[in-house]
Structure 1
């Protein structure tokens, strides 16, 4: 199920880190840089707090749901309001908070009990809540910086917590920096099997917890007045429950049998309980002229399940007016299939019975595929802000409505899945 991949693999922290996966089709893109220049302040003056309200909408459709064995609807809608707050605690330390709720409907989830007469096609509904916090501090004597972070999320069948930290070494001229970071995540699952597989009480999967550890290294440098570069590499180790309990797989003994008669033929997805991921990426940002910048990105990905992937993207922010920036962008992704992926009715029952293969899945996220994403970002940020109003929290304090951002994209994948993404961003200072 596509949403499950997003909410378990992605840890959103304001100004922080994102856990790498082989695809990132559901993720909301980074916000655009502001067009206006900030007013210079004394080093001893506390900066304003900032708050962003984001309203994200995502919808998709396809016909290869892993919940029904690689066949069936993947229709899903997700509405995700999110608040991101940046609070300067003093002149050298900051607190970032990120919290929100995902409201989603999923036809795939609704088909967990498909063979029990609950196959109306209507979408199942659920809610996921999440909160993340990060504390960062600049070290005046050395010019370096560090951060600490923690987070929690919960929905009907998964609860998750994470914590981590980073340390950044800056050059004296601030043109070069080296960052080391680490993240630990623990997911606890309710083992909800397909109804026909849980009625006999068998524990098909031996673990109900998933542990993820990430170690990252990045190096950034200002090469000249026009060109900046960022190189990063990560090692991500996952252990425990890496299968999704309610994903079905059908062996080759079902070929020719009508789907509605396959109740006794379904199997629970089985995946290796260890996975090592290694993504390596590079970003180049080039200042073309006063009105246009070029942003490029490339990532190479490989893992112990046999997937090798390449991702490349390009974005061209254009200053239409002093207050308006338009950013068209394009992203291309391609990957090889995991060793354990089989289409519906493709895995050999004889091979499984002879224990020639232990693992099998019909989740097309792990298939041989390519995808494209094309979209446009708009940001309206007048020099003096969109407007001002009195603070509801602090007497005699004004809040500046700083900017409005809109980002929309269309995603298309070679297996037939397609999606729309829209994100609205309202930025304030107070």
Structure 2
């Protein structure tokens, strides 16, 4: 469930982490790197907090609370192996409490759903290598996550063709994901030996192509396109749908006998196309813009645009206000509560408002404090005689609002160290 919150509709309600750290705006591209550039292991501790509320939960058929709180600490580790190779590790946990998913057992007098509070543990590793002769680079990656009803793993890789002057690059990447579900149905629909959904595995295959170029000293651009194919269990087993024989004012006993398990097509093709433009207005101010067009085989078309303005207040302090706008059409099989026909039942149906038509915006600000000499030094616990450094602190906060009534607050902290 938590994975869906972050990824549905290509991050419609994505949580802003600080992995896109703003000190990058001050770094120059280095064509040749000395061994000294790779002597330190970088470790970032991130603490993300996310909360949302709304009144269109798919767990109760497009009505009811969407309240959710999520605390997500994680570690990101960059380990230089040599001057051409590196290993990146990312591991953490999402701990969430959800009044919405607690309603899987909505019709029980003393409900206690397994999904009311849960944790998702995740781990990712990536190895990257630059080819000395050509300057091209490749990477391979893999990872896994586990929560109460979903076990996932993924693997992938990329290959980048770099120009000799490092001002242009073309990247081809691919990713395979496999999610295995424990199909937990709404309490009133748990019949012995009855499976409402035929699959318990979801597979995702992504192929991407991106091109980046330094156009001049001030302007950098990146264009990307992806094709994402999904198959298998694309419905969420505990999402309810009520047809037009149900009324929102019906009592609980009546509604209990009228609920249905969400049914969605077992295949989906997604195509996002995006571009980024980074323009250095001055040595102290950078303009970051982003636009994405998205379409899929379920009938959704979407446009997303964002703007961010990192400003160097001092050599150590960067402030980054940002704004993001998103609009999309509804999926062909989306129905509000009591809208789908009970007499002429459609083949597929959902009341998940993530698949509805809506507009949304996200506004926020980021802060990055990273003195040239670091914030503090201490003895490294891992390397004898080595001095570790507390390098930076970052804070990012945002408010998210959707036209269907969903709203959210997001806060991220990032503590950077070198060992």
Q: Which bin holds the TM-score, normalised by the shorter protein? A: over 0.9
Change (3 A) 1:71 1:323: same
Q: Which residue in the other structure is 1:418 paired with? A: 407
**What is the aligned counterpart of 1:77 among 69, 77, 80?**
69
1:317 paired with 2:317, answer: no
**What is the aligned counterpart of 1:378 among 334, 344, 367?**
367
Alpha-carbon distance, 1:49 to partner:
1.1
1:108 paired with 2:100, answer: yes
Q: Which residue in the other structure is 1:14 paired with? A: none
Contact between 1:107 and 1:122, CA under 8 Å: does it hold in 2?
no
Change (3 A) 1:149 1:256: closer
Within a 5 Å distance, the mapping from 1:87-126 to structure 2 comes to 87-118=79-110, 124-126=116-118
Deviations 1:60-90 (A, max 9, x none): 0000000000001000000000100000011
Contact between 1:186 and 1:211, CA under 8 Å: does it hold in 2?
yes
1:336 paired with 2:329, answer: yes
Change (3 A) 1:259 1:78: farther
**What is the aligned counterpart of 2:342 among 340, 349, 353?**
349
Q: Which residue in the other structure is 1:26 paired with? A: 15
Measure the CA separation in 1 of the matches of 2:362 and 2:136. Answer: 37
Contact between 1:108 and 1:123, CA under 8 Å: does it hold in 2?
no
Contact between 1:340 and 1:359, CA under 8 Å: does it hold in 2?
yes
**What is the aligned counterpart of 1:282 among 257, 275, 278?**
275
Report the secondary structure of 2:281's partner residue. strand
Alpha-carbon distance, 1:201 to partner:
3.6
Measure the CA separation in 2 of the matches of 1:302 and 1:397. Answer: 52
Within a 5 Å distance, the mapping from 1:147-186 to structure 2 comes to 147-186=139-178
**What is the aligned counterpart of 1:43 among 34, 38, 54?**
34
Measure the CA separation in 1 of the matches of 2:301 and 2:286. Answer: 31
Measure the CA separation in 1 of the matches of 2:174 and 2:121. Answer: 24
Q: Which residue in the other structure is 1:136 paired with? A: 128
Q: Which residue in the other structure is 1:402 paired with? A: 391
Q: Which residue in the other structure is 1:15 paired with? A: none
Report the secondary structure of 2:245's partner residue. helix
Measure the CA separation in 2 of the matches of 1:395 and 1:25. Answer: 41
Aligned length: 415
Give ranges in structure 2 of 5+ residues lacking alignment: none
Alpha-carbon distance, 1:27 to partner:
4.8
Contact between 2:33 and 2:83, CA under 8 Å: does it hold in 1?
no
Change (3 A) 1:172 1:122: closer
Contact between 1:217 and 1:232, CA under 8 Å: does it hold in 2?
yes
Q: Which residue in the other structure is 1:300 paired with? A: 293
Q: Which residue in the other structure is 2:353 paired with? A: 364
Report the secondary structure of 1:179's partner residue. strand
Give ranges in structure 1 of 5+ residues lacking alignment: 11-19
Deviations 1:131-190 (A, max 9, x none): 000000000111100000000000111000000000000001100000000000000000
Deviations 1:293-341 (A, max 9, x none): 1000000000000000000000001111111100000000000000010
Contact between 1:385 and 1:400, CA under 8 Å: does it hold in 2?
yes
Which 4+ stretches in 1 moved above 4 angstroms?
A: 35-38, 119-123
Contact between 1:36 and 1:383, CA under 8 Å: does it hold in 2?
no
1:429 paired with 2:418, answer: yes
Deviates more, 1:97-106 or 1:199-208: 199-208
Measure the CA separation in 1 of the matches of 2:206 and 2:242. Answer: 34
Alignment TM-score, normalising by the size of structure 2: 0.95
Alpha-carbon distance, 1:260 to partner:
1.6
Change (3 A) 1:182 1:225: same
Contact between 1:64 and 1:70, CA under 8 Å: does it hold in 2?
yes
Change (3 A) 1:83 1:381: same
1:217 paired with 2:209, answer: yes
